[in-house]
Chain A
Amino acid sequence: MATAEKYVGGGVPRKEDPKLLTGQGQFLEGLTLPGMLHAALVRSPYGSARIESVDVSAAAAADGVVAAYSGADLADEWAAGLPMAWPVTDDIRIPDHWPVAQDVARYVGDAVAVVVATSRNAALDAAELVEVDYEVQDAVVDVEAALADDAPRVHESFDDNKSYTWTLTNGDVDAAFAKADVVVKERYTQPRLIPNAMEPRAVVAQSVPSTGDFTVWSTTQIPHVAKVLFALTLGIPESQIRVIAPSDVGGGFGSKLNVYAEEALCIALARRLGKPVKWVAGRSEGYLATIHGRDQVQEIEIAATVDGDILGYRVNILAAMGAYLQLVAPGVPLLGAFLYCGCYGGEAYHFECTGVFTNTTPTDAYRGAGRPEATYAIERAIDALARKVGVDVAEIRRRNFLPAGDMVQSPGGLAFDSANYEPALDRALELLDYDGFRSDQAERRESGAGKQIGVGFSSYVEICGLAPSQVLASLKYAAGGWDAATVRMLPTGKAEVVTGSSPHGQGHVTSWSQIAADMLGIPYEDVTVLHGDTHVAPHGMNTYGSRSLAVAGVAVHNACDRVVDKARGLAAHLLEVAPEDLEYEAGTFSVKGVPDRTKSMPELAFAAWTAHSLPEDSEPGLEAHCVYDPPNFTFPFGTHVAVVEVDTETGAVDLVRYIAVDDCGPVINPVIVDGQVHGGVAQGIAAALYEEATYAEDGTLETASMVNYLVPSAAEFPSFETDRTVTPSTSNPMGVKGIGEAGTIGSAPAVINAVVDALSHLGVTDVPMPASPERVWRAIQAAQGGEA
């Protein structure tokens, strides 16, 4: 359709900003309801402990306390345990997961009791009075240790700590390895990461006892999905639950893509007590009770010719699930399973993943979810291959790139849309001045300077646009991958866009307004975007996996198309011509050849509302609904480059430059896209250099607060250099692909490759993440034959 792109493609300042800049943000912690009670949880201080007894009597008697319950006291509240929606194999072991533990606490932070009081302080004070007798048991916190024959079992009902093994094979892998001139075999660890959305989680549940209705406000990325799952967990008819993700949710990164114990618990408490119940996480409490990410051990083998042409891949990973299976945790490695061959060719591919229970906070999707892990492995391993065959690291990528084209078959089994990998690499090399860098590096090495420089590349491809529902079915995912939009012209010529996405910082209100304003030909300011409330926006699959634009945004686009179609019929009727005799441009229909006979979109909106004269068989109103189920995933890609300076005396790494050239297809708002890249890159760099959640052997989280888990500040980063190539996806009418996670997916291997490159002349071939000064120093010492 003809649209004048007045807003799309421009860096329109965000509609979300004014209230956030003036202290009028509607974050959930600020919500207060009449008669509202506050819940505080008592959590296990032990990695594994049998709960012998729970005495809540002293807590129940404390000032301001309304009720106190053990897990056993609440057992009849649950129609089902907390949900897990991705049983990846038929024989996957799925443990019971109650919102409050009943017999055994399986990680530090597992809830064992709850206190409800008239104020948050009263609840927190009284929680200290709950007496729990524990019989402490041996814990296991490491995935490899958990698979040992004599390892303590996280769940006694299972024979061992394995949850599932999932495999994928394409081609004859043994044959590919048999004819290889060289094989590189690498082992990497993915540290456990804490997502750290700046807004801690919170929930408020309100019941109306006379009707049995519930309203649940939650800091969630998935209000619609949560509504279904709350109904199943609590045994409440879905029609009687309204879920509201507040208009402002303070970041997510996957950590709010879940159904949590505290959400179910507040609903149960509201039902039991007949009053609204609120829970707000403290940051340190959130470190225990909100999902973690990554925590994998990876082995990757690449078979290649002597020239470095890749023949085949073998991948075996162990993925920590934590103590229970959270919403999509088993499937997280599957999102990476198709990407351990990156954007490269080859004849054969084998992937195997084992999900492992440990006495730790459950893991789940954290920004990138499976794809950063896969990209890290292949992008590190291809550097190892380059060193082995003596080919330049940029050249070995170019040599192995899949050919440019659409629906290009990857050895991993998927066909990638919009494959066009060389231009992004070329642009990155140009921005870097690669030859200049190598000559500076040679000079430094020659001079034996204490500070050495290195460059690292990462040419990634990823999977977005989750997802074609039938493909999800084949992966045993328990939900669809569609999303929904309603676009409605209001009688005064303004428009409402109702979206199934649920933004928490991404700027959907702005971007969806740009799309609708252009297609409907009305001012950007005249578009309102409604989201996050299941009573207002009844259909949605919500926001995760960089899917919002490529699925929900396309639904907005298609709904606008349908509105314009209906408007065309009405315009033709009012102008007394055939619809095909009309031209549409910037919100105005005009009769071909008679440009002064026109009807504008606001005129048509009013006419559709008064309904005084409509075409035959046409209903009043100018509104359309679209549920869009994408025919394929989208496959964004790009090349990222890190330049580091490493102090060989201290091991300190200084990130000097960071260049990101991404291809997410056509861009709706370049300022927002750059912002997504910046934030994503920062999280990947943070993983590479700073962040790691660690457990003591007894299951104690050692990095239990922001004091000792190193979320980097502005002082740790340079400004980022971003650029784009634009290769549209052929899977949707807008050609868009997604950008929310690309930065995180591309960045960590680029940084570590740069650190290794800076030290390669000293014999260093690996530095584990996070590359702390100590780890870098030890790697240098080990390579030099010193003590490490």
Chain B
Amino acid sequence: MPVQGKNKVSGKTKLEIAVYAAVCLAILALPLVLHDAFLLNKYARYLVLGILAVSLSLSWGYAGILNLGQATTFGLGSYCMAMALKLKTIPIHTGADGLPDFMVWNNVPELPWFWKPFYSMTFGVAAGIVVPMLFAALLGWFMFRGRVTGVYAAITTLAAMVVVQLLIIDQQAYTGGFNGITDLAQFDVAGFTFDAYSSSSYYLVAICLTVSLFLALAVTKSKTGLIVQAIRDQEDRVRFFGYDVALYQIFIFSVSAAIAGLAGMLYTIVMEFASPTFLGVPLSLSVVIWVAVGGRQSLLGAMLGALVVTGTQGALSESETFLDSWTLIMGLLFVLVVLFLPKGIAGAVEKLAGKFGHRRAAPVPPPQLQPQRTEAVANTRHAESLS
């Protein structure tokens, strides 16, 4: 392993890290000025969705894998946490034999084997990350080894989500079915309880957000992250350098799933339940919209996109007039962004910053070079249409 201390971080990366840190600090500082428990809970919820957006940006923006089922791994994480929290309520919300209430109603004689390890909170938290990761690795294995890409990959992820959701709804006796898993205990670590309506849960979410954001940033800045972006650009070219393309895709897909799983666990903590709607098509498509609006090739942009869109949605849906028209507004917003800001808000900001920063630095190309440049573009266009 190379010595990293010797390598200078480029100026652009330094600026990026500074901006990321500033945003995270601002988020972490919010409870200092905001004391309304209800609002803190609401903002914590938005931040969780921000983490989910970061996870999609990693696979869609960086690896070019449009995961229309990003909510699958989010939901799996959420259920793992809910199972662990449910078992902690024994015997308050359980029947005579220490069974979760919905199992009693469904005449389940004893706790199924796959519920038993969830007596351990440590296991629950680990499962909330490992289960989504394994799911993604397995799905990725079939998709990427079989060279399923583009639209077909997107449809596959969507189909997989629908299957998992149906399974959860169908297995009511073990999953709570339509109702999900409700009446949970509060999450606690070593005696410290995270009340969903308090600054402690907000801090928990904000810290997890910061960690995920910087972890994802580190991945994208590594050579592995660069190779993943190269795969997005020209899969074949990467392959013929000796990189195992499918393995890289499976890797990034799994990392993305792990972050989504973490978000799912946090969602259960702040919402105090898990529901099959967490693995739903509406949520999954919403994530795609947030990420597109914020800028899919920017982790921070995607996260802010989620905050802005869900925040606006939250504000508008409180007024009667907008409740119904919200879906329409969201659709319109999406179309506008796709048409006018293909790289989202982050892309637009970067472009503006670049214009100001490089106005003098970037020389106008000598005139004789220009026809060649357009020719190059035309050529590669042609090439793309051929391949």
* Co-complex (A, B): no
Interface residues of A (CB under 8 A from B): none
